[in-house]
């Protein structure tokens, strides 16, 4: 939120508008309560993660490198996922998420893995906003052009063209935010209330049983996106500090976990993102026209563990090792992955010195500034004058996302057409803006922290 957008003031000088960070927190909390009521196993998952995190911190208090600030965000941290069907729906979601201070970051193509969507993640990008609440929504757009049957493609387009996924009041409040520069407290609460139904599960399909079955036969995700009133949230994900422990604990809590964890192997220094989930629930639905009963599987629970963000050099190494693991013969996938990643340094100092990981730098004590002026950042860290704290990875991995999708869509997902090439340009046209580069955002955070340290050193202890 810029200073211009916060310019409206009350008589006592306070802002008349609720900050986007606060609106985001109100919405993510309301969404979590709603999803917990709809999917009771999500509540079990939250309790499980809280226990695992407490045990992990008791064993190793330094797990949260960011200290108290990171511990505070850990308790509220969630990501959700939704799937939309048309460019118009995606573009409107961009405007809606902007009210909550969330911008589209990254482009993810899942078609090559047999999932006919491409996606971005809406999230906050400023350090202060991430610290307040790093809520993210992985948002996929259906690629109708990948549906091979022209008649089915046309049918899906017609069904999607008839639906309206936002209330008139939600649209009006979004426009109010854009024109007035913000929402007052009552408006912010109303915005959250009006937006929740967009993400709510609707057990009545908007199509007949026959249409549903035709779409599902082409691809389970096609049926999920097209056949219902809106982009129901299909999972909410808490963050754990030990995903291996969470994976072991799920069956003990009566939760059917997926067979393996997605992402890099277990390491002393976690990198990027690891994810697991419980399998999608089979839920009763009623079909339009004859109100006959059926079942649909779409919603599941997920857990994630976030590690250090990587530089471009680090991502190149990561991708090359991932390819090496996939090409390995004679080993199980888990063994091949672990062996391939032995080539990726597993201590923070090496990651930093080799330019593989991203760090936030801070002067340990302003009193030391006079003895450090003119010294390079590595030497300052070596001398204990500057601290280097890993920057948390805030984004997603396309291979992992595809693995989660496939495990919860069933075997038919693997049979989908993957003929379409990645099309970031087409996605951005639908979105209405370019997506932000997640690595560039991390590099900017690191560079800004170095510049801040050097400025403090130049000014001396007086600053």
DSSP string covering 4-41 = GGG--B-TTS-BSSB-HHHHHHHHHHHHHHHHHHH-HH
228 within 8 A of 202, measured Cβ to Cβ = yes
Backbone angles phi, psi at 438, to 5 degrees: -65, -35
Degrees, nearest 5: CA angle 34-97-53:
55
Q: What percent of the chain has pLDDT over 90?
A: 61
Q: What is the mean pLDDT of residues 78-96?
A: 96
3-state helix, strand and coil shares in percent for the chain, rounded to the nearest 5: 50, 15, 30
204 Cβ partners below 8 Å, 6+ apart? Answer: 229, 285, 286, 287, 288
The β-bridge partners of 308 are: 271, 392
Whether residue 135 is predicted with pLDDT greater than 90 in this model: the reply is: yes
The end-to-end CA distance of the chain, in Å, is 27
pLDDT averaged over every residue in the chain: 87
pLDDT of residue 404: 59
Q: In this predicted model, which residue has the larger pLDDT, 410 or 181? A: 181
**Does the pLDDT of residue 170 top 90, yes or no?**
yes
> Residue 294: which pLDDT band, with cuts at 50, 70 and 90?
confident
Q: What are phi and psi of 133, to 5 degrees?
A: -175, 110
Could you tell me which of 187, 406, 443 has the C-alpha nearest to residue 315?
Answer: 443
Measured between alpha carbons, how far is 376 from 382 in angstroms, rounded to an integer? Answer: 10
* Residue positions counted in the chain: 463
Across-strand partners of 103?
123
> Which whole number is the average pLDDT over 183-199?
96
User: Residue 416's pLDDT is what?
Assistant: 45
pLDDT digits (tens, 9 = 90+) for 318-367: 999 999 988 876 667 788 999 999 999 999 999 999 999 999 999 987 66
Write phi, then psi, for 171 (nearest 5 degrees).
-65, -40
The residue written with tokens 């391939």 in the block is 340
pTM of the predicted model as reported, rounded to 2 decimal places: 0.90
- Please state, in angstroms and as integers, the Cα–Cα distance from residue 226 to each residue in 115, 337, 417, following that order: 15, 36, 17
Q: Which pLDDT belongs to residue 374?
A: 60
Residue ranges, CATH 3.10.180.80, the chain = 4-308+395-432
Please indicate whether residue 407 or residue 68 has the higher confidence score (pLDDT).
Answer: 68
Spatial CB neighbours of 40, under 8 Å, sequence gap ≥ 6: none
Q: Output the CA torsion 296→193→429→398 (10° steps).
A: -50
pLDDT score of 45 more than 60 = yes
Query: Is 70 exceeded by the pLDDT of residue 77?
Result: yes
The SS3 of residue 238 is: strand
Instruction: Please name which of 37, 22, 162 lies closest in space to residue 88, comparing C-alpha atoms.
Output: 162
Q: From CA 161, how far away is CA 400, in angstroms rounded? A: 31
What integer pLDDT is reported at residue 457 of this predicted model?
A: 85
24-62-343 Cα angle (round to 5): 95
Q: Is-contact 388 359, C-beta < 8 A?
A: yes
- Closest listed residue to residue 181, CA positions, set 20, 65, 328: 20
Of residues 329 and 7, the one with the higher pLDDT is 329
Alpha-carbon torsion (384, 449, 309, 279), positive or negative:
positive
Which of the four pLDDT bands, split at 50, 70 and 90, describes residue 414? Answer: very low
Q: How far is CA 270 from the centre of its chain?
A: 17
Q: State the pLDDT at residue 67.
A: 66
Query: What average pLDDT does range 271-293 have in this prediction?
Result: 84
Residue 401: the pLDDT is: 58
Q: At what angle do helices 333-340 and 312-327 cross, to 10 degrees?
A: 140
Instruction: Please classify residue 112 by burial: count the beta carbons closer than 10 Å to its beta carbon, then call 0-12 exposed, 13-18 middle and 19+ buried.
Output: middle
Q: Which runs of consecutive H residues, i.e. helices, occur in 77-184?
A: 87-99, 127-132, 150-162, 168-180
Does position 173 have pLDDT exceeding 90, yes or no?
Answer: yes
Of residues 281 and 226, which shows the higher confidence score?
A: 226
- Tell me the pLDDT tens digit for each residue of 220-278: 889 999 999 889 998 899 999 999 999 999 999 888 888 889 999 999 999 999 999 87
> What distances in angstroms separate CA 186 from CA 17, 183, 192, 457, one per listed residue?
10, 8, 10, 46
Whole-angstrom CA distances from 240 to 56, 203, 210, 297 are 9, 31, 42, 25
* Average pLDDT of the residues in 99-118: 91
Q: 371 falls in which pLDDT band (50, 70, 90)?
A: low
Question: Domain 4-308+395-432 sits in which CATH superfamily?
Answer: Uncharacterised protein PF07063, DUF1338 (3.10.180.80)
């Amino acid at each position: 939120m810029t200073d211009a957008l916060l310019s409206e003031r009350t008589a006592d000088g306070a802002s008349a508008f609720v900050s986007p960070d606060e609106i985001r927190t109100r919405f993510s909390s309301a969404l979590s309560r709603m999803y917990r009521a709809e999917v009771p196993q999500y509540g079990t998952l939250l309790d499980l993660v809280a226990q695992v995190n407490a045990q992990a911190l008791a064993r190793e208090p330094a797990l949260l490198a960011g200290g108290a600030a990171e511990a505070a965000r850990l308790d509220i941290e969630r990501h959700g996922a939704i799937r939309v069907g048309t460019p118009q729906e995606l573009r409107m979601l961009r405007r809606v998420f902007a009210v909550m201070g969330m911008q589209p970051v990254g482009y993810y193509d899942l078609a090559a893995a047999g999932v006919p969507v491409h996606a971005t993640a809406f999230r906050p990008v400023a350090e202060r906003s991430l610290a307040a609440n790093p809520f993210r929504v992985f948002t996929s757009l259906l690629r109708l052009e990948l549906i091979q049957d022209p008649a089915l493609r046309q049918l899906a387009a017609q069904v999607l063209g008839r639906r309206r996924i936002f209330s008139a009041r939600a649209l009006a409040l979004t426009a109010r935010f854009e024109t007035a520069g913000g929402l007052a407290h009552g408006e912010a609460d109303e915005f959250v209330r009006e937006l929740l139904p967009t993400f709510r599960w609707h057990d009545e399909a908007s199509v007949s049983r026959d249409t549903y079955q035709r779409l599902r036969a082409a691809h389970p995700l096609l049926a999920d996106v097209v056949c219902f009133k809106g982009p129901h949230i299909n999972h909410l994900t808490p963050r754990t500090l030990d995903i291996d422990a969470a994976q072991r604990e799920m069956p003990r809590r009566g939760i059917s976990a997926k067979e393996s964890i997605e992402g890099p192997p277990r390491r002393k220094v976690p990198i990027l993102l690891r994810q697991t989930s419980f399998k999608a629930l089979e839920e009763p639905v009623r079909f339009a026209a004859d109100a006959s009963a059926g079942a649909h599987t779409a919603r599941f629970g997920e857990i994630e563990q976030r590690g250090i963000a990587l530089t471009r050099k680090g991502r190149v190494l990561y991708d090359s090792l991932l390819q090496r693991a996939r090409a390995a013969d004679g080993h199980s996938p888990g063994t091949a992955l672990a062996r391939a990643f032995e080539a990726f340094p597993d201590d923070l100092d090496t990651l930093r010195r080799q330019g593989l990981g991203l760090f936030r730098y801070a002067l340990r004590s302003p009193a030391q500034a006079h003895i450090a002026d003119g010294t390079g950042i590595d030497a300052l860290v070596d001398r204990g004058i500057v601290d280097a704290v890993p920057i948390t990875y805030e984004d997603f991995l396309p291979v992992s996302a595809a693995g989660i999708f496939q495990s919860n869509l069933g075997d038919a997902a693997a049979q989908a057409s993957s003929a379409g090439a990645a099309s970031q340009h087409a996605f951005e046209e639908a979105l209405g803006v370019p997506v932000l580069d997640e690595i560039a955002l991390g590099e900017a955070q690191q560079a800004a922290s170095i510049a801040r340290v050097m400025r403090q050193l130049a000014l001396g202890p007086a600053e």
